[in-house]
Structure 1
Amino acid sequence: MGDQKESLRKITTTLALKNEEITNFICCLKQSLENLESNSSRVQEDLEAEFNTLHSVLDELKDSMVTRIKQERASRTYELQNQLSACSKALESSEELLEVANQTLCSTEANDFNQAAKDIKDSVTMAPAFRLSLKAKASDSMSHMMVDFTQEREILKAIKFLPVPATPEILLSECQVCDNTVTVLWALPEPDAKIDHYDLEYRRTNHEGPPRAREDYPWMVVEGIRETEYTLTGLRFETRYMTFRVKACNKAVAGEFSEPVTLETHAFLFKLDAGSAHQNLKVEDLSVEWDSCGGKVVQDIRKDKNRTNQSPMHSPARTAMNSPKRVPSARVGRDRFTAESYTVLGDTFIDAGQQYWEVRFDKESKAFAVGLALRNLGRFDQLGKSNASWCIHLNNWLQQSLTAKHNNKARTLDCQIPDRIGVYCNYEEGVLSFYNARTKTLMHTFRTKFTQPVVPAFSVWNGSFSVQTGLQVPGAVQSGQRKNSGTSSSNASLT
C-alpha cells in the first residue's frame, strides 16, 4: 500500500509538471497568434507607407521636371517670338523700299532719277533687313529634356522584402557574473554587414531553465548596442537567476530573439530581524538607529491591551515570503537582546557557501560591532564576549580603537577605520574576513570551524548603521582569499 502511494505520488508530480509545461506552451501559442495578427497588420501598414512615400517622391520629381520643361519652353518661345517680330518689321520695311526702287527705275526724268537713286541707296544702307541675323536665337529641339528610366525601372523591379537579420546565439560559456555585474556575449551564425545594432532584454526570475509564460518580473530593454557584448552594472541580485535574450536589427527590421539563457546571480540577501533587536535600537528595513527612549516606549506598548497586534511578529516585514533559510524569530518580548547587549541579528542563517555583505556605520558612534553569531547567542551576550560570536568592534568611548573580538578576547587592529565594512564568510572553510569596502583591503580574518548555522550580527550604542545586501562576493575579495588560503592565520588566539 505504501509503495503504491509513493508511486502514485511520483506519477502525480510528473503529471502536474507536464500539465504546467503544456499550460505554459498554450499561453505561448496564444500570445504568438496575437502577436502574428498585430505584427502582420503593422508590416502591411509600413509597406503601404513606404510605397506612398515612394509615389510622393516620384510625383514631386515629375512636377519638378515638368516645371523645368515649361520654363525652357517659355524662355525659347520668348526669344523666337522677339526674333520673328523683328524679322517681320524688317521685311515690311524692305518691301516698301523695293517698291520705291522699282518706281524710280520707271522714271524718265534724269534729275529726279539721280536724286531718287541716291535716296534709295542711303535707305538700303540703313535698312533693318541688312542688320538682321538670319539664324534662330533658340533651338526648337527639346531632346535635352528627355529622360531614361531604364536603370531606375530595374531598381524598382528589384524592390523586395529586406532580409531579416539572423538570430544571434548567446555564448553561455563566455558570459560572466562578477562584482554585481553581468557581461553577456553573443554571435551571429554568419557575419552580416547590414546589422546596425542589437537590442538586449533581461529580467529577473526565480527559477533555472527556459523562461515561463507567466513571470512576475517584466523584461528590461537595452537598445542600440553596437558590439556583440554588453555589461550590466550596478545590479542587486534579489533573485537567484536572471534571464537574457538578444536580437539583431538592421536599418529597417529586427530579427528574432535568441534562445533565452538563464545565468545564476546568487547573492546573499537578508533583512534585519526587528524581533531580535534591543529595545533601544530603532530598526527600519536595513537601517538601525540608537534610540535612548526605546525601552520606555516598549514598556508603554506592553501596557496597552492590544499589545499582541503591536508585536513585531505581525509587522509587514515579518509577514513577507520566508526564505528556506529565513530564521523564525524566537526573540520577541522577553527573549530579545537586553541589558548592554545592544544587538540585532539578520533574519537569514548561513549554513553553506560564500557570502558577502556590507555595512555603513557612523564613525561617531560611541560603540559599533559587526560580525557573525550562532543562533543560540544569549540575550545578554555582547558580540565577541562569548564563543558564540565573532566581530570587529569600534570603541569611541574615551579613546578610539578598532579591535577583533571573539570569546572575550580582543586584538587591536592597526588599520585605518573605514566608513563602510565588507563582511565575507566562507562557511565550509570556516573563514570570516572583514574588508575596507571601498578599497577591498583586508582588515582581519577569523579562521574557525562553524559547527552550527550562523547569522549576521550587529551592535551599536549611541550611533547608527545601515546594511547593504544582495551583493556578490567581489572579485578582489575572491582573489585575495585564494592567495591567503594556504597561509596560516595571524589571529589563531581569537578563534
Structure 2
Amino acid sequence: MSGFVKERSCPFTEHLWVFNIPQHLREREALQRIITTLANKNEELHNFIETLNHLLAGVQVNSSRVVSDLEEEFDTLFSILEEAKESMTNTIKQEQARKSHELQNQMLQSTNALESSEELLEFATHALDIKDQEAFTKVSNAVLLYVRVVTMAPAFRLTMKPKATDTMSHLMVDFSQERQLLQGLRFLPVPRAPEFEVQDCLVVDNAVTVVWRMPAEDSKIDHHILEYRKANHEGLPRVQDERCWEIVDNIKTTEYTLTGLKFDSKFMNFRVRACNKAAAGDYSDPVTLETKAFNFGFDPSSSHLNLKVEENSVEWDPQGSKGLDSKVKGKENKGRSGTPSPKRGSTPRSPAPRGGRDRFTGESYTVLGDTSIDSGQHYWEVEALKDCKSYSMGVAYRNMGKFDQLGKTNSTWCIHVNNWLQSSFAAKHNNKAKSLEVAVPERIGVYCDLDGGLLSFYNADSKQLLHMFKTKFSQPVVPAFMVWCGGLSLMTGLQVPSAIRSFQKAENGLGGSNSSLNNMPQ
C-alpha cells in the first residue's frame, strides 16, 4: 500500500488509517522520538555532571577551609599554652630568686654571728688559765664587757627560724581538668532550636518584647537571630499573604525588644534561631502575638474641596475649588478679599459637586476618618504644620451636616487651635468653648473610649492631660478634623499608651471626680 486511507467513519477504518502509514515514516518518527528523548537525557546528564563537579569543587574548597580553620584554632591554643607556660615559668624563677636571696642573707648574718661567738669563746677559755687573781679579774671584766658589746650586735639577736622554706609545691599546676577538656574536643554541634517563653513576651506602647530559652545549656552559643513579620490572622503564616521576614542579627541575650513599631496588622509572627561559630541551628516554632491597634486614614470622599487629602495627611489648598462654576464661586466669595476667613459667616448654598466631593462645603473645612469607632478604646496622634493658622481634631457622628463645623453642634467634640490674628486653645462642643490654659504641644494624642463615654486629649510626648469630655455616645463616631491655612499629619496604628491606661484606671477609681470630666455642657 502506498497511500493513506482517509475514511474514518468507524474504529475499524481508523485502525486501517493508522496502519496504512508507510513503514519508513513510522520508523523515522519512532527514531526521531528516541533522538529527542536521548537529547533531553543527555542534557540532564550534562547538567547533573556539572552540578556534581561543582559540589566536588565545593567539598574540596570547604574541606581545605575547615582544615585551615582547625589549624588556626590549634595554633591559637598552642600559642596560649606557650604564653601560659612562659608566664608560669617566670613566676617560679622569681619565687626561687626571692627565697634564695632571703636565705643567703640569713646565712651571712648567721655566719658573722658564729665568728663573733667563736672569738669570744676562745678569749674566755684562755682567761680560765690565768692563775694571778688580779690579772684574772682584769681579763674577766674585759670578757664580760666584750660579751656585753658583742651580744648587743644584731647577729646575736637573730632568730633561729629560716625565713623561707625549700618547698615550691604552691607553684605546681593541675592540668587534669584541662586535659579532660582537650581530650574531649569535638566538632561543634548544630545548635538546637530555641523555645519561646510566651508568658514572658510583652506587647505594650507599640513595642514588642520577646523572650526565649535554649532547651539545654550550651556555652558555645555565640548569638541569636530573630525574625519577625506582620500578619492579619492568628496562627501559622498562610502562603497567599505571607510577608517577608525582617531580620535582627547578633543578639547576645535570650530576649529582644522591638520599639517604634506601627501596628497596622492584627498580629506579628516571630521565630528565632541560635548560632555558634560553626553554624546556625533550626528555627524555633513560630509564635504569634496580637498587635491590635486602631488604623485609619483621611477619607478623601468626605473632605472639603479646599483640602488636599492623602492617606495620612491633609493640607489647606485655596486653589482646590477653582473648578467650580465661576458664577457660583463668585456668589460664594462675594464681599471677601484675600484668603477666606475661618470664621463662619452667612451660610452659603452648596456649590456644584466636583467628583462627588460635596460632603462638606462653605466654611466647614472638614475631613473625616475612613473608619468608624463603634466600640472599644482607641488612640491616635495628630501633628500640625508649624505655620498652620487654624485646626481642630476630635470625633463626630457620621450624620454631621455639610455646613457644620467641629465643636459647634451637639454631635461633635473637639479641641481647637487658632494661630490667626489672636492665638487661642480651647475645647469645643455644642457651640460652647472652654479655654485651655496650657501650651499647645507639637503632637496631640486623642483617646476615645466609646463604651466608657470618654474623649480625652493629651500631650503626645509627656502624656499630660489637656482636656477630657465625658458623655454617652448614642451612635458610632468617626475621627474628624478641620484645617485652614496649613496642614495636619496623622499617626495611627498606635496602641493606647500604658501611661494613659493607668491614668484612666486612676480616674475610674476616683469615680470620675476630676472636674475636667463635666466641665462643659454635654
Q: Is the TM value for this pair above 0.5? A: yes
- Asked if the contact 2:304–2:357 (Cα under 8 Å) also holds between the matched residues in 1, the reply is no
Please state if 1:494 is matched with 2:521.
yes
For residues 380-391 of structure 1, the aligned pairs below 5 Å read 380-391=403-414
Please state if 1:53 is matched with 2:68.
yes
For residues 337-352 of structure 1, the aligned pairs below 5 Å read 337-352=360-375
Give the equivalent residue in structure 2 for 1:127: none
Task: Look up the SS of the partner of 1:490 in the other structure.
Answer: helix
Partner amino acid for 2:389?
A: K
Among 443, 446, 452, the alignment partner of 1:429 is 452
Q: 1:381 to 1:332 in 2, by over 3 A?
A: farther
1:334: Cα distance to partner?
6.3
1:335: Cα distance to partner?
3.6
1:403: Cα distance to partner?
1.0
1:363: Cα distance to partner?
5.1
1:197: Cα distance to partner?
0.7
Give the equivalent residue in structure 2 for 1:410: 433
- Asked if the contact 1:410–1:494 (Cα under 8 Å) also holds between the matched residues in 2, the reply is no
TM-score, length of structure 1 as denominator length: 0.63
For residues 57-456 of structure 1, the aligned pairs below 5 Å read 160-299=186-325, 333=356, 335-362=358-385, 364-456=387-479
Task: Look up the SS of the partner of 2:422 in the other structure.
Answer: coil
Give the equivalent residue in structure 2 for 1:308: none
Q: 1:174 to 1:388 in 2, by over 3 A?
A: same
The percentage of aligned residue pairs carrying the same residue is: 54
- Asked if the contact 2:227–2:270 (Cα under 8 Å) also holds between the matched residues in 1, the reply is yes
CA deviation profile, 1:127-184 (whole Å, cap 9, x unmatched): xxxxxxxxxxxxxxxxxxxxxxxxxxx9999775422222211111111111111111
1:357: Cα distance to partner?
0.8
Task: Look up the SS of the partner of 1:494 in the other structure.
Answer: coil
Task: Look up the SS of the partner of 2:277 in the other structure.
Answer: coil
Task: Look up the SS of the partner of 1:294 in the other structure.
Answer: coil
1:364: Cα distance to partner?
4.0
Task: Look up the SS of the partner of 1:459 in the other structure.
Answer: strand
Q: 1:201 to 1:412 in 2, by over 3 A?
A: same
Q: 1:453 to 1:170 in 2, by over 3 A?
A: same
1:376: Cα distance to partner?
0.9
Q: 1:234 to 1:379 in 2, by over 3 A?
A: same
Consecutive unaligned residues in structure 1, runs of 5 or more: 1-36, 61-153, 304-329
1:57: Cα distance to partner?
7.2
CA distance in 1, matches of 2:392, 2:192: 56
Q: 1:267 to 1:332 in 2, by over 3 A?
A: farther
Task: Look up the SS of the partner of 2:225 in the other structure.
Answer: strand
1:359: Cα distance to partner?
0.6
CA distance in 2, matches of 1:190, 1:156: 22
Q: 1:42 to 1:347 in 2, by over 3 A?
A: farther
Task: Look up the SS of the partner of 2:505 in the other structure.
Answer: helix
Q: 1:204 to 1:227 in 2, by over 3 A?
A: same
CA deviation profile, 1:352-371 (whole Å, cap 9, x unmatched): 22111111113543321000
Q: 1:48 to 1:283 in 2, by over 3 A?
A: same
CA deviation profile, 1:433-474 (whole Å, cap 9, x unmatched): 101112111100111122211111000122211111111111
- Asked if the contact 1:405–1:494 (Cα under 8 Å) also holds between the matched residues in 2, the reply is no
Partner amino acid for 1:410?
A: A
1:204: Cα distance to partner?
0.8
Q: 1:43 to 1:445 in 2, by over 3 A?
A: farther
CA distance in 2, matches of 1:431, 1:256: 49
CA deviation profile, 1:237-278 (whole Å, cap 9, x unmatched): 111110001111111122111110011111111111111111
Select between 285-294 and 224-233 the one with higher mean Cα deviation: 285-294
Partner amino acid for 1:166?
A: R
Partner amino acid for 1:454?
A: V
CA deviation profile, 1:385-438 (whole Å, cap 9, x unmatched): 111110001123432111111111211111111121111111211111101112
Among 507, 511, 515, the alignment partner of 1:484 is 507
TM-score, length of structure 2 as denominator length: 0.59
CA deviation profile, 1:211-241 (whole Å, cap 9, x unmatched): 3344431011111100111011121111111
CA distance in 1, matches of 2:421, 2:286: 59
- Asked if the contact 1:279–1:298 (Cα under 8 Å) also holds between the matched residues in 2, the reply is no
Task: Look up the SS of the partner of 1:183 in the other structure.
Answer: strand
